[in-house]
Chain A
Amino acid sequence: MFGFGLLKALWVTIKNFILPSRFNAYQYPDRKLDPVSLAQKEQKNFFLFILQSPIKVLKSLMGLISNKEYVPRNPRFRGQDFKWYIERCTGCASCAKYCPLGIIEIQTSSSHDRVTEGEKYNIDVFDIDIGRCMFCGLCVEACPYDALHMGSGFEEATYSRNNLIINVETLKSAPKKPSTWFRPQLEAQGYNPQKDKEVPWNEVGRHVTLNKTEQGNRWIRKS
């Protein structure tokens, strides 16, 4: 029958309009709430809500009430603001060698400080140009001592491109909440960078512990 297909299609749209299980409009969480969405959030009828708590309605009209939830992300999310532990970094520049764009700059100087395995190096410059970074995570994969980790932030807009270059000071002072991407030892603990506390440098662990031949074969296979 002509027109039956149209009615069938309309039935689908009506179903999607009515059934709550099909709703899928997520608002950006960190926004100012208007009275209607505030009533929705408190799961009350809007008109009852106005009568019951007029002060809240007034506040939300003035833009004083905001939603404090975070955008749900998975623990492996590769995000901005790298997490770097200076105590673990040896300045080997594996990350800089492995970066496809060459945006990591490392300069080290000798500290004349003898430790068991050799000389200790001071890391003078550790610049990551986040403005060109594509967050592939290869640097994190290459780090043999788990000093560099991905972060999990994404709201890092700045007014100037120069502010996107993160240096040693920024890396040092950043909150140490590493993403669990390529860090199975953190994943095994069930660590979630959005919810859990900071991880100190001595609790991060190693994703791989290699012997001497394996270390040699890590970059170029010698057979």
Chain B
Amino acid sequence: MPIKTEPTIINLGPQHPSTHGVFRLRVSFDGEKVINVEPVFGYLHRGTEKLAEERTFTQIVTLTDRLDYESSMTNNLAYVEAVELLANVSVPERAQYLRVLVSELQRIASHLIFTGFFLQELGVFGTLLMYCFRERENVLDLFEMLCGARITVSYMRPGGVTQDAPPEFWKNLDDLLNKLPQLLDDLENLITDNEIVLARTKNIGILSPQKAIDSSVTGPILRASGIEWDIRKANPYEAYDKMDFNIPTGSNGDCFDRYLVRIKEIRESINIIKQCIKSIPKKGPIKNSEVPFFLRPESGEVYSSIESPRGELGFYLVSDGGIAPYRCKIRSPSFINLTVLKPLLIGWKMSDLVVIFGSLAVNMGEVDR
């Protein structure tokens, strides 16, 4: 006579160290095997889209800092791009290069956080996280030098950026660029050939290219599945059409590839920053002086997207001719990338669940908005 068994339901979160914020997973287990997953979110909902409807176009920049708090520069950029398209505002060339530079710096910082926490989820407690944070600190110091804040930067404005870089910024940037490749070599020595990491991540949580496209996954997760899609190349914004860089792709689409693609992207980012420093105009305006404080774009709608460290970050703005947008919809990459969570997790063991979820690198500030 077979023994009657029932699935065990376990709540992972909302307060759990490996859920990256306040995120809850209701997981049904058959023994140790995952048979059903039900993500519950909304714990960090702040109503950004609604708040944006009663703020002027410049004031919303401060709200976008708080979406994906690990990459506020790219959030600023995505929003500002949409406003410029809506109001038909041109951007000076030096500002374009500065924007590319800071968003690549932000990509480095964000991917370093990912690497640290990814290894944390495998059980490497603290050590590697601290190495990554040590280098990220240098990037944040650069941001502080540039705009006075480390996380909530509010650096960009419709029509340009707030302030030009001080002279010591370029010196510190050079120091950082000389130091970073050595750290990346260290990281690769630590992780890439490590047998324990390989056993935990290789062939775990495989996402097929077809499935990735069907679920409209973007960013490093899509590229890890072997699809060469990057908005920086496909639809270049700012000064990206003048940059020469590769799109790193994975072959397998497993957790290990998602890590490797990000490490390779950091190297490409360093490459882009070096090109930026070389070709940035030495002098020139950094803000379009015709943009007033209270921008009043003509009525219309616009969708514009950029490649944020997590994928395609898009802003859909509707204007009715007033000083505030009529509607501001945010297409956040973390939220869309969560759609593959259920098909990825089902069938794997409990300890793989944490690794697969960590490799998606969702940010709850962006999921809940």
Q: Chain A interface (Cβ within 8 Å of chain B)?
A: 2-6, 8-9, 11-13, 15-16, 24, 73-74, 76-78, 98, 100, 134-138, 141-142, 150, 179, 181-182, 184, 187, 217-221
The answer to whether A8 and B193 have CB atoms under 8 Å apart is: yes
Tell which of B62, B141, B149, B292 touches A220, judged by Cβ atoms closer than 8 Å.
B292
B198 to A, closest residue via Cβ: A5
Contact of A100 among B63, B145, B186, B191 (CB under 8 A): B63
Could you tell me the distance in whole angstroms from the C-beta of B157 to the nearest C-beta in chain A?
A: 9
Contact A6 B292 (CB under 8 A): no
A24 touches B189 (CB 8 A): no
B residues near A73, Cβ cutoff 8 Å: 144
Show 20 residue pairs from A and B whose CB-CB distance is below 8 angstroms, ordered by the A residue.
A5-B194, A6-B196, A8-B189, A9-B190, A9-B191, A9-B194, A15-B186, A16-B131, A24-B134, A74-B144, A76-B146, A76-B166, A77-B148, A98-B59, A100-B55, A100-B63, A182-B163, A217-B290, A218-B292, A220-B296
User: What is the bound-complex CA distance between A41 and B78, given in angstroms?
Assistant: 46
Known contacts A76-B146, A134-B62; A4/B293 CB under 8 A: no
- Chain A residues lying within 8 Å of B195, measured Cβ to Cβ, are 2-3, 5-6
Q: Shortest beta-carbon distance, B173 to chain A, in Å? A: 14
Q: What mask results when residues 117 to 138 of chain B are scored 1 for a CB within 8 Å of chain A, else 0? A: 0000000000100110010010
A221 contacts B190, CB within 8 Å? no
- Which residue on A lies nearest to B131, using beta carbons? A16
Q: Does B58 contact A (CB under 8 A)?
A: yes
Which single member of B62, B127, B290 contacts A221 (CB below 8 Å)?
Answer: B290
B305 within 8 A of A: no
Tally chain B residues at the interface, Cβ within 8 Å: 43
Closest 9 CB pairs of A and B: A5-B193, A100-B59, A78-B148, A76-B148, A136-B62, A181-B148, A9-B190, A221-B292, A24-B134
- Given A4-B193, A217-B292; A182-B162 close (CB under 8 Å): yes
Q: What are the residues of chain B within 8 A of A182 when measuring CB–CB?
A: 162-163
Q: Tell me the complex Cα distance, A181–B190, Å.
A: 40
A219 to B323, CA, bound (A): 11
The residue in chain B whose Cβ has the minimal distance to the Cβ of A9 is: B190
**CA of A15 to CA of B131 in the docked complex: distance in angstroms?**
12
- Give every chain B residue within 8 A of A8 (Cβ-Cβ): 189-190, 193-194
Contact between chains at A13 and B127 (CB < 8 Å): yes
Distance of A74 from chain B, by nearest CB (Å): 5
Q: How far is the CA of A181 from the CA of B145 in the complex (A)?
A: 10
Measured CB to CB, the nearest residue on chain B to A8 is B189
- Beyond the given A135-B152, A138-B58, please list 9 additional residue pairs across the A-B interface where CB-CB is below 8 A: A12-B190, A76-B163, A76-B166, A136-B152, A181-B148, A219-B293, A221-B291, A221-B295, A221-B296
Q: How far is the CA of A219 from the CA of B293 in the complex (A)?
A: 5
Residue of A3, A5, A76, A136 near B154 (CB, 8 A) is A136
A78 interface neighbour in B149, B186, B193, B290, Cβ under 8 Å: B149
Q: For residue B193, which residue of chain A has the nearest CB?
A: A5
Distance from B342 Cβ to chain A, minimum over Cβ atoms (Å): 33
Determine if B85 is an interface residue (Cβ-Cβ < 8 Å).
Answer: no
Return the chain B residue nearest A5 by Cβ. B193
Known: A135-B152, A187-B166. A220 touches B294 (CB 8 A): yes
B292 adjacent to A219 (CB under 8 Å): yes
Q: Please indicate the chain A residues that have their CB under 8 angstroms from the CB of B63 in the complex.
A: 100
Give Cα distance in the complex from A217 to B292, angstroms: 6
Instruction: List residues of chain B with CB within 8 A of the CB of A179.
Output: 148
> Which of A98, A135, A138 is packed against the most chain B CB atoms within 10 Å?
A138
B147 at the interface (CB under 8 A from A): yes
Chain A residues with CB under 8 A of B294: 219-220
Interface centre among B55, B58, B141 (most CB of A within 10 A): B58
Q: What residues on A are CB-neighbors of B141 within 8 Å?
A: 74
Give Cα distance in the complex from A73 to B137, angstroms: 13
Interface 1/0 per residue, B282-302 and A, CB below 8 Å: 000000001111111000000
Q: Using an 8 Å CB-CB cutoff, how does the interface string of B202-236 with A read, 1 for contact, 0 for none?
A: 00000000000000000000000000000000000
Q: Evaluate contact between B292 and A76: CB separation under 8 angstroms.
A: no
Residues of B with C-beta under 8 A to A9: 189-191, 193-194
On whether A12 and B189 interact (CB within 8 A), knowing A76-B144, A182-B163, the answer reads yes
A219→B192 CA distance, assembly (Å): 54
Provide the residues of chain B in CB contact with A2, threshold 8 Å.
195
Complex CA gap A5/B162 in Å reads 47
Which residues of A are found within 8 Å of B196, using beta-carbon distances?
6
Q: How far is the CA of A99 from the CA of B203 in the complex (A)?
A: 51
Q: Nearest Cβ distance between residue B159 and chain A, in whole angstroms?
A: 11
Question: Which residues of chain B from 92 to 136 have a CB within 8 Å of any chain A CB?
Answer: 127, 130-131, 134
Which of A9, A15, A218, A221 counts the most B-chain CB atoms under 10 A from its CB? A9
When the two chains form their complex, are residues B194 and A6 in contact, meaning their CB atoms are under 8 A apart?
Answer: yes
